[in-house]
Structure 1
């Protein structure tokens, strides 16, 4: 397997594990959709991406940005340790904590209802993925 294909799999390994549906948007970008529930005002992890080397150390941070912001909350993007599921040559990295890029959603305090966020993640290999989170905010 060439370097490009291996690294492409790594970029989406962790976030795909959190997702329930994969489609392609009008721009040809793979889009991973998930539905989550959170308590109003609480912080919810909506997406995480780790890119590792063969020795399971971080290779680089994925770039994440909000392309469709929530109407009833905010998104914070941070670098922190994450635990991932990896496949193929990288399956030995599964369960190990590595540095990654993580997106968190927090609703406006007191808001109850539905919200939606679209995050775009890209790697230094040129791989781009969108992560759509439909969020049900409860009391």
Structure 2
């Protein structure tokens, strides 16, 4: 069987990585900060599981570890372009089935929020994403 790609991308928009910690037991924690508009659905994570020929294998799990306090996090299955951070892949231009996370702050809320999600990123490895959100009007 060909190698498969599984990736979690927090703040899938062009937000720089603020910190990443990897342990020897295959657990990685990634922290990022983003700005979101109050009441506006914002892409915060995407994950896919495809083979080397860009074919869908399955829908990887994205588990919500901590729900946001001032909004909601929705996890949906939808087609996406599998962008690999820092790597070029022939699959970047092929839409594949994946799992996407969207954060929506409560309408009218401004201030800070936080959410934590967990997902596999390679065979037998897990990544936890901590997302700090600044909500603006």
TM range (shorter): 0.7 to 0.9
Superposed CA RMSD: 2.7
Q: SS in structure 1 opposite 2:109? A: coil
Task: With the length of structure 2 as denominator, give the TM-score of the two structures.
Answer: 0.81
Change in 2 beyond 3 A, CA 1:72/1:120: same
Q: Does 1:106 align with 2:104?
A: yes
Separation (CA, whole Å) in 2 of partners of 1:82 and 1:73: 24
Q: Any residues of structure 2 matched to 1:126-137 within 5 Å, and which?
A: 126-137=124-135
Deviations 1:60-108 (A, max 9, x none): 1111111011111111000001112248xx8211222111111111111
* Long gaps (5+) in structure 2: none
Who is 1:15 aligned against?
Answer: 9
Q: Any residues of structure 2 matched to 1:62-73 within 5 Å, and which?
A: 62-73=60-71
Q: Any residues of structure 2 matched to 1:113-132 within 5 Å, and which?
A: 113-122=111-120, 125-132=123-130
Task: With the length of structure 1 as denominator, give the TM-score of the two structures.
Answer: 0.80
Q: SS in structure 1 opposite 2:89? A: helix
Aligned length: 130
Who is 1:92 aligned against?
Answer: 90
Q: SS in structure 1 opposite 2:34? A: strand
Separation (CA, whole Å) in 2 of partners of 1:115 and 1:99: 29
Separation (CA, whole Å) in 1 of partners of 2:82 and 2:122: 19
* Long gaps (5+) in structure 1: none
Separation (CA, whole Å) in 1 of partners of 2:38 and 2:21: 29
- Richer in helix (by share): 1
* Shift in Å, 1:28: 6.2
